[in-house]
Structure 1
């Protein structure tokens, strides 16, 4: 799921980080001074689609508190400039979805400060499968000219774009069938991340204002939609026309979905011409304590805690950390992660890995995307 942490959660800037050869850590990943991609606007209809009360088979919570809360959403929508016709067609008919609440509360994960981290290998086996590799490689070949154009336009490795498409929706097979506005209103009311989900609810209303049919606004229980699994605010900001028809339709056009993923990664600071990372062997004698980062990340503390401090690839080689296949430029900055502990495969990660983390702030997610991308590009 693509989040944008600047709005509360899927992440604005890469962490400030630096060479171990310096006395203090500083930022080797300053954002490139490039303008964001010009996303094709979502076409504006002359008036909103007529919307009747949606027929929902989802379990509903009858809550007087939720009925009262809808007044708050109405006030917020008006303050944001949403059309009265859209407000009247949507908010009075919203229902609290019990299934969404149950799924949100059942998310995996231990206590916030737990030091117990499961191994990566089982997750990798579930998300870098023969099926995903085979279908991704076939699409990679069939879309070769279009993907080459995307790489030229955005500077992002096309195999990574394809891997995110595969990871998020199984190449469009599973995009979610929850009513997006109902989901976002329910999660906002639940209150755990109220400010974030209220902003996304308003963004979804803006999509309706711009002419997106309510019937098209389907997605995951967490509020992500379309082939890229964007939150509504990212649809407004980064949905991109990839098939040249003048419309950015991330729900029906695979090329629009792929172009939008590429636009997201570029916006997250992807550096052209640099791979996300490489598997490496680590000598048993490596002094890991001396490589711990002293930086305090502004977000995703548990995720970044697993990364070493930044060194150049040359400095890693001098410490005995050796790539097992392709390598990275000697002067490129990289961090080390050992997701299955000492003695197992480790990875040197570049700044572009951070762009994948921006899409979903999970080391397991980002590593599996990178590894799936490598297998897709290799065709096996």
Structure 2
């Protein structure tokens, strides 16, 4: 299992804040490799200097300006630290069914400090958040919760050189196609006028306040402060608007909560509500969700919301992150939009809970 961490991950463990980068990568996607493969088998067949010519050729085919290619690809150096970090990502055996408890993760990612700073940001950016909500329909609390998770509210955005990091990961070869494509997208950002010095981020290539991968920056960055330019590195309003644009693009529905806490009866027949749908991605994530029922149908089964936010006509899935005795949540389509940002149930739940705390729901 591959999980790509963002700039804020170290900050969480150090108690500075929360952050796990939205690298826009499916963290549960299987590697296209035999079980006994070693990283050496994925190295490019040439030296890194030779491999850069392959990157230049691909960039040329995909329409990057020749002047950009010549100015910025030849000077790139191989970053072995990036490769070491990629190889040391956490993850159990690929066929392991073990799922850690949610409670410790929640304590680390929904902290009193993050709540306090999120509430302060909510007050100081209230006008911007209202404008963004009117335009995109996304809950401001969720925007701030993602912002807090990804970069500790802008404090930890990453200092790795993006071109160097992406070229090194592409050369390593474990996910060559993805990282080559992101490398070319980073060059396209330069063509679009983004200064070369702005291209800093996590070792995995996530950048800016939203911790977008370069291809997502190209597609979905947004102007939130009205100056006509979408600057996700220097404008907090642009960063928040870009997160909102991403979530809307992922299917966020205005006026709908992400989910609610529920009481689940011990007599619930969980086999009868098991989903039979096969998710096209993140199968282990979605496998933990029940089938869709209306809230009225859940009430009839004894699953009762303990907070407001959903009507009996709304549809939701049930998830019990810590098992039958650990409490449950009814989750809506908007929870799925958060999962699109980072395909982890723990991430999405903690974003929702932090959002509720920030906006005092």
For this structure pair, what is the TM-score category when the shorter chain's length is used for normalisation? 0.7 to 0.9
Q: Give the alignment partner of residue 2 of structure 1, picking from 4, 22, 26.
A: 22
8 Å CA contact retained: 2:273, 2:291 = yes
- Which secondary structure state, in structure 1, belongs to the residue aligned with residue 230 of structure 2? coil
Map 1:119-198 → 2, pairs under 5 A = 119-198=101-180
2:322 maps to: 340
Distance 1:292 1:109 in 2: 26
Question: Does 1:265 find its partner at 2:285?
Answer: no
Deviation beyond 6 Å, 4+ runs, structure 1: none
Using CA pairs below 8 Å that are at least 6 residues apart, which structure has the higher relative contact order? 1
1:228 maps to: 210
1:360 maps to: 342
Residue 65 of structure 1: how far off its partner (Å): 2.3
Structure 1 gap ranges (5+): 12-60
Q: Give the alignment partner of residue 350 of structure 1, picking from 329, 332, 335.
A: 332
1:75 maps to: 57
- Which secondary structure state, in structure 1, belongs to the residue aligned with residue 189 of structure 2? helix
Question: Does 1:101 find its partner at 2:83?
Answer: yes
1:32 maps to: none
8 Å CA contact retained: 2:167, 2:183 = yes
Distance 2:343 2:324 in 1: 23
Distance 2:27 2:64 in 1: 25
8 Å CA contact retained: 2:27, 2:344 = no
- Which secondary structure state, in structure 2, belongs to the residue aligned with residue 208 of structure 1? helix
Map 1:266-305 → 2, pairs under 5 A = 266-305=248-287
Question: Does 1:369 find its partner at 2:351?
Answer: yes
- Calculate the aligned-residue CA RMSD, in Å: 1.7
Residue 97 of structure 1: how far off its partner (Å): 1.2
Distance 1:122 1:2 in 2: 21
1:117 maps to: 99
**Bigger shift: 88-97 or 163-172?**
88-97
- Which secondary structure state, in structure 2, belongs to the residue aligned with residue 139 of structure 1? helix
TM value normalised by structure 1: 0.83
Per-residue CA distance 1:42-99 (angstroms, 9 max, x = gap) = xxxxxxxxxxxxxxxxxxx9x9522221111011011011111111112111122111
Distance 2:266 2:80 in 1: 50
Residue 326 of structure 1: how far off its partner (Å): 2.0
TM value normalised by structure 2: 0.87
Residue 275 of structure 1: how far off its partner (Å): 0.1
Residue 342 of structure 1: how far off its partner (Å): 1.4
1:65 maps to: 47
Structure 2 gap ranges (5+): 1-20, 29-42
Matched residue pairs, number? 326
1:219 maps to: 201
Per-residue CA distance 1:159-191 (angstroms, 9 max, x = gap) = 101110001000000000000011111111122
- Which secondary structure state, in structure 2, belongs to the residue aligned with residue 278 of structure 1? strand
**CA distance 1:255–1:214, shift in 2 (3 Å):** same
